[in-house]
Structure 1
């Protein structure tokens, strides 16, 4: 009798084909449409990566200029959506603001012949920062902010400007831009697969993205960077961190931001984010957080063979950019919408309803007892 493979969590199961990214492939590191993330993070912009993922090629300089102008024109929010954002509670999870905003926008600007998936992809990447920060600023001090900010030409620049109310430094813009690139796409992760399952039923683009946001919200996926920051904030010094982590290991507690189901020898995004975090720490004169992060990294590698994943050092980067912890996962949403959009387009290009089988482990067929016979 052949032993049946444990497919819990679909681990090790190939669920389809994609031309968008390589994840954990021998000798390939992580690429987007064949381009190394190292090159993309150091030499391109998030807008270029969005264009690459959605349209399949890197834009020329004129194409990039036109695309940036288009995205700037798509930042404004419909008045009805602003009203909805004002009615949502200030205590809401910010990821839920984007999920609700996406669904609401889908009723106001539905997908159709005059508004295709390519256009909606740009619209959402352009206006998600507007949604999030309009809601945030309104409930913080009653301000109805202008979201277009034409002089701030990139998504990273606009986000930091709307958050702070003043122009960010070039280093801060560059750091956030690189972080968005590194979060843009990652093959058949939980949220991306959710998007593909939804649109495989021939549902609309907004439903796919809304489902992806719901999947990303969890602490085992997009919410892990917030959990990593909470871990880091528990310690004031490297020695304190080492003692605390050792106690966690003794209790078999999980350290968020470490390990990855696919990457067994380290997440290739983590060293890029670590270098950015170090640069930002030096600029800020930090003598605490970054050394604490390094001590935790070294200890978990030596004691458990665990490498940091994308969440650990992205949390450190966002902290030094003065981004509140509750905005870490929404930033993941903004970045990953580019990858979700590309997967939705890819799924539709060769669609087949995604409907896996399950192994039944319930009771054998049995007689139905009348209600008075049930114990």
Structure 2
């Protein structure tokens, strides 16, 4: 049995049956409710994409207006908690704010709004300056709250692409946590908090900012080969490369790269260097591991895109959660509908009492 098929790591183990999304590691295709990710991004807003994802699973009256009203409601609830956020890391702030929601809340629209508003508040020092505008689309409003000013249409479209593309991705580690929590009937809020706690890990969604740190250290085209060679000689993991979900380039990375090219030139100043680093890194890794191709993963161009539209690095993971909460809620409900509690087995390898 190969390491990839090792059941101890649960790689590719079937944890649930789902109608929500599917990723093919060989072709790189990502399906959301039967739609290709590309078509979903091209034809839908974030609100419309959530409606598509939630159909026949969650009974929720979701519209741009209802999500806007929910953003205002949770912002008013979160604002008095500002002083409690001091000294916390961004994901800790987001988790604290989400935990202030009533555990009996069964309104997925409210929880989705809370994830978005808490993501913004997690990256801001003064939340009083971040009042939402219920009349705006979710992407437009979140970006206005983050930047504190009106945004150009290209930047809003870029964030919309990001939010849709990250909405769901099969049974990832955080989604599994949401399903486990929901299977015990712990509720939607508990499922979201469990999932967020898992998402923050650096092997899942907690390290996209490190891609920018790497590019900062490389600095220029002349520094690419020396920096990458030294990192590979040390056995370091190159941030933004390699994925357990795909053996080909991540389809979301291509969407983010395309969105970057649509932004004003000043916003995508990092892109030429990033493309050189990408090409060189893939070549050097292929030379060192013949027959084992490591491709760009979603972190690479997600970090570049969010940075280009003005999202601070400390906000990358909270904003990931703001999108993925839509998927977590759908998976939580789908798991609840099975009526079964998720409880995997284990194989005991410890000692036994001696006989005598």
The normalised TM-score by structure 1 is 0.85
Q: Is the 8 A contact 1:192 1:343 kept in 2?
A: yes
Matched position secondary structure for 2:30: strand
Q: Is the 8 A contact 1:257 1:311 kept in 2?
A: yes
2:209 matched residue in structure 1? 226
Match of 1:302 among 283, 307, 311: 283
* Within-5 A mapping of 1:38-117: 38-56=38-56, 67-76=63-72, 77=74, 79=76, 81-89=78-86, 91-107=87-103, 110-111=104-105, 116=106
Quick one: structure 1 residues 278 and 147, their matched pair in 2 at CA, closer, same or farther if it must change by over 3 Å?
Answer: same
Q: Deviations over 1:122-164 (max 9, x none)?
A: 1122233333434654x34xx623633134x222111111122
CA-CA distance at 1:25 after TM superposition: 5.8
Rounded to whole Å, the distance in 2 between the matches of 1:3 and 1:331 is: 35
Match of 2:273 among 276, 287, 292: 292
Q: Deviations over 1:283-335 (max 9, x none)?
A: 21655x21221122112222322111111101000111111100000110000
Q: What is the CA RMSD across the aligned residues, in angstroms?
A: 2.5
**Which structure has the larger Rg?**
1
Rounded to whole Å, the distance in 2 between the matches of 1:134 and 1:71 is: 17
Rounded to whole Å, the distance in 2 between the matches of 1:30 and 1:183 is: 11
Matched position secondary structure for 2:241: coil
CA-CA distance at 1:28 after TM superposition: 7.3
* Within-5 A mapping of 1:1-375: 6-24=6-24, 29-56=29-56, 67-76=63-72, 77=74, 79=76, 81-89=78-86, 91-107=87-103, 110-111=104-105, 116=106, 120-134=107-121, 136-137=123-124, 139-140=125-126, 144-145=128-129, 147-151=131-135, 153-280=136-263, 282-284=264-266, 286-287=268-269, 289-304=270-285, 305-366=293-354
| Larger relative contact order (Cα-Cα within 8 Å, sequence gap ≥ 6) | 2
Rounded to whole Å, the distance in 2 between the matches of 1:27 and 1:79 is: 45
Q: Is the 8 A contact 2:211 2:239 kept in 1?
A: yes
Matched position secondary structure for 2:131: coil
Q: Deviations over 1:10-31 (max 9, x none)?
A: 1131122111111126557101
Rounded to whole Å, the distance in 2 between the matches of 1:80 and 1:72 is: 15
Q: Is the 8 A contact 1:134 1:145 kept in 2?
A: no
